[in-house]
Amino acid sequence: MDLYVKLGMLLIMAIAVDATEISEYIPRISKNMKNNITDKTFVLVQPDCIFTDFTSYNVWLVIALNNCFSTIEDSDLFPPVPYSTYNNRSLAYYHTLPLSAGQYPCSASKSSFINVIQIGSESCTENLFCNGELNNNLTYKVKFILVNSTTIIDSTHWLSNISLPKATTFQESSVWPSGRSGGMIALTSILSILLAILLVFFIAALLLGSQDICWKRTMHNEKSLAKIDFLSHSSYKSKYDHMYSVS
Ligand SMILES: *[C@@H]1O[C@H](CO)[C@@H](O)[C@H](O)[C@H]1NC(C)=O
Ligand SMILES: *[C@@H]1O[C@H](CO)[C@@H](O)[C@H](O)[C@H]1NC(C)=O
Whether the CB of 33 sits within 6 Å of ligand 1: yes
In our burial notation (b when 16+ CB lie closer than 10 A, e otherwise), range 198-223 reads eeeeeeeebeeeeeeebeeebeeeee
What pLDDT does 48 receive?
86
- Which residue, judged by its Cα, is nearest atom 3 of ligand 1? 32
CA angle 109, 111, 117 (to 5 degrees): 95
CA 27 to chain centre: 16
- 240 in helix, strand or coil? helix
Residues 169-181, mean pLDDT to the nearest whole number: 52
Residues 40-47, mean pLDDT to the nearest whole number: 95
Q: Quick check: 215 pLDDT over 70? A: no
What pLDDT does 190 receive?
65
Whether the CB of 166 sits within 6 Å of ligand 2: yes
Which are the contacts of 107, defined by CB distance < 8 A and separation ≥ 6?
A: 48, 49
Q: Quick check: 245 pLDDT over 70? A: no
Q: Quick check: 229 pLDDT over 50? A: no
Closest CA to 177 of 167, 185, 166: 185
Whether the CB of 34 sits within 6 Å of ligand 1: yes
- The full length of the chain comes to 247
Q: Phi and psi for 25 in degrees, rounded to 5?
A: -75, 135
Lowest mean pLDDT across 83-92, 217-226, 236-245: 236-245
What pLDDT does 237 receive?
40
Closest CA to 93 of 79, 107, 109, 106: 79
What pLDDT does 199 receive?
79
Would you tell me how many other CB atoms lie within 10 Å of the CB of residue 76?
13
Using pLDDT thresholds of 50, 70 and 90, give the confidence band for residue 71: confident
Lowest mean pLDDT across 8-17, 96-105, 163-172, 216-225: 216-225
Closest CA to 29 of 46, 13, 5, 12: 46
Most ligand 1 atoms within 8 A of CB, residue of 26, 28, 29, 45 to mutate: 29
pTM of the predicted protein model? 0.64
> Between 154 and 114, whose confidence is greater?
154
Closest CA to 161 of 37, 33, 32, 76: 37
Q: Quick check: 179 pLDDT over 80? A: no
Residues 2-8, mean pLDDT to the nearest whole number: 55
Q: Quick check: 227 pLDDT over 50? A: no
Q: Quick check: 226 pLDDT over 60? A: no
- Which residue, judged by its Cα, is nearest atom 6 of ligand 2? 137
Using pLDDT thresholds of 50, 70 and 90, give the confidence band for residue 205: confident
Spatial contact of 112 and 101, defined as CB atoms under 8 Å apart: no
Residue 5 carries which side chain, given as an amino acid letter?
V
Torsion angle of the four alpha carbons 13, 17, 19, 24, in this order, in degrees rounded to the nearest 10: 150
Residues 167-191, mean pLDDT to the nearest whole number: 59
What pLDDT does 176 receive?
46
* Helices assigned H by DSSP within 53-179: 83-87, 172-175
